[in-house]
Amino acid sequence: MDELKLTVKPDDKTFRVPSGTTLLEALIAGEIMVRSDCGGHGRCGKCTVRFPAGRGSSLSKPDDEEIKLVGPERISSGFRLACRVTVSGDVTVEIPQKSRVTPDVVKKGLPAILSGLHSTGTARSGPISYGIAADIGTTTLAVYLCSMEEGTIIGSTSLRNPQAIFGDDVISRISAVTTDPVTLPRLRKMVVRAIDWAVKALCAPMRISPSAVIGMTAVGNPTMIHLLLGEDPSSIGVYPFSPLFTEDRFLKAGDIGLRFNPEATLRTLPLISGYLGADIVSAALAADLLDAPDGVMLIDVGTNGEIIYRSKNELIATSCATGPAFEGATIRHGMQAASGAIDSFYFDSRENRFKYTTIQHDPTNPKSPSGLCGSGVISTVAELVRTGVITKSGSFNTSLEFPQLRTGNGEAMEFEIVSGEEAQDGKPITLTQNDVRAVQLAKAAMRAGIELLCRQCGVETPICIKLAGAFGSYINKRDALSIGMFPPLPEDLIEVVGNAAGAGAVLALTDHRRFLKSLEISRSTKVFDLASHPEFQETFIGFLSF
């Protein structure tokens, strides 16, 4: 394949990329992360870039959707969407600061389940070695920088998994690889460059050289682990959905193209089956599920919901395709849980108006609202259901006279959460009818999985739920219960444990005994096949209503 020269301003960075790739993928290859809240599907408009020389023969022409989102005048001035434009010749591009992914490095605020560990916050002098724990989700990539000697977390960051441009779910990415084998190294390169970018972002404020990172532990669902290692995941996409391997893997970081320290050791935790991966093993490790009492259920909510239950001195696990709505993806104004993300929404009866709160990792530098993270999506839907704006069937109630309820550009109804005057980019933040439907499908799949696993284990409900996942640190339990995500348990029986998969990866990285325990969890967990269960479809449909 022919290569072209891409020059990025104002970085003055030049590198060569294959001709015909999207600009977004080309920038990722150069470790330049551009905002792509919609996963690179041309819906959010956050990846706007500018070609100083305007539109030339080396650029693909904008389609109607891109012109509509960017605006014809700005298109004429050289502005384009990085995810929409493909480049076929040498070109220079300007990346505005607001289009770049800004590392949201958190020096404190560990996963809730690791409250016993304490962040050092600063680097010590002397020969300290560091390690990286990476939770590679279908939608979100979370990376933790740790002190190997102290067994503590120094900082963490997260970003969208750039592989999302090939699809929001694992089946889409498996299909991409099956259709064109050349896609496999492209997908691996994307996640590898994202990890390199995250390592640099974490090391820079601590004045740590990335080469001082000597070890890495990675977890993720089976497809994500296969793609990370450059293994073909095609067998996971067809019956009997078998991965090429389930054992842990041990190799050097450079073997898969990681640059931060090619000699660093890389270890992946073991898998259980084709849809139960190192992420649920890691979460079970962090939750100490092997030693938990019977009746405890751990739910890792992500693009692929994974559920593991402690029953009669054994672990039984299943998975359900919830989709990425719980992580803010596929949502019109969805985003990751970064500063400026709306994480809760409520009606203030005293002031007779709706209000919201936003995540602010750095209170000294607050960000204006820029979208909805997963917990914000759940909170907004739950409050609109409680106030009658959304009916039990999931439709907007047009008989109510709320000025925020209106017809959107696609003629479907939408609800304005934040006005353009308040929003970071000057455009209203809304919840659309399609967003509501995505939440309905996700919560019905989750609830059906819980229900059928309980029936399999001969119980009506678990004695308690440990709730993990990318949005677990922020979700309001009352909101989740009110839309029917979980069985009607008292709130105090639902423990929010945050990113337990990331926490388990930290434990396995810094304590070899914990790593050995992950092997035991993988070997001893029984698989409950939900996809072929004769009652799944009926149960799923029964839980669609709010």
Query: According to the CATH classification, is domain 3-99 in 3.40.50.300?
Result: no
Q: d(Cα 205, Cα 121) in Å, to the nearest integer?
A: 10
CATH code for 112-268? Answer: 3.30.420.480
Residues 265-288, mean pLDDT to the nearest whole number: 96
**Is the confidence at residue 3, as pLDDT, over 90?**
no
Residues in a beta bridge with 160: 140
CA dihedral 50, 54, 58, 59 (to 10 degrees): 50
**Is the confidence at residue 424, as pLDDT, over 80?**
yes
Contact (Cβ atoms closer than 8 angstroms) between residue 497 and residue 472: yes
Residues 142-156, mean pLDDT to the nearest whole number: 90
Instruction: Report residue 524's pLDDT band, with 50, 70 and 90 as the boundaries.
Output: very high
Report pLDDT digits (tens) over 88-135.
888 899 999 889 987 766 554 445 556 545 444 444 455 678 999 999
**Is the confidence at residue 273, as pLDDT, over 80?**
yes
Q: What is the DSSP letter of 194?
A: H
Which DSSP helix (H) or strand (E) runs through 94? strand 91-94
Q: Compute the mean pLDDT over every residue in the chain, rounded to the nearest whole number.
A: 89
Report pLDDT digits (tens) over 443-462.
999 999 999 999 999 999 99
Instruction: Report residue 301's pLDDT band, with 50, 70 and 90 as the boundaries.
Output: confident
Please report the pLDDT score of residue 470 as a whole number.
63
Residues 37-59, mean pLDDT to the nearest whole number: 80
Least-confidence region, from 176-180, 270-274, 467-471? 467-471
**Is the confidence at residue 323, as pLDDT, over 90?**
no
Report pLDDT digits (tens) over 21-32.
899 999 998 889
Contact (Cβ atoms closer than 8 angstroms) between residue 263 and residue 254: yes
Say what percent of the chain tops pLDDT 70: 93
What are the two backbone dihedrals, phi and then psi, of residue 12, each rounded to the nearest 5 degrees? Answer: 55, 40
Residue spans in the chain of domains classed CATH 3.30.420.480: 112-268
Residue spans in the chain of domains classed CATH 3.10.20.30: 3-99
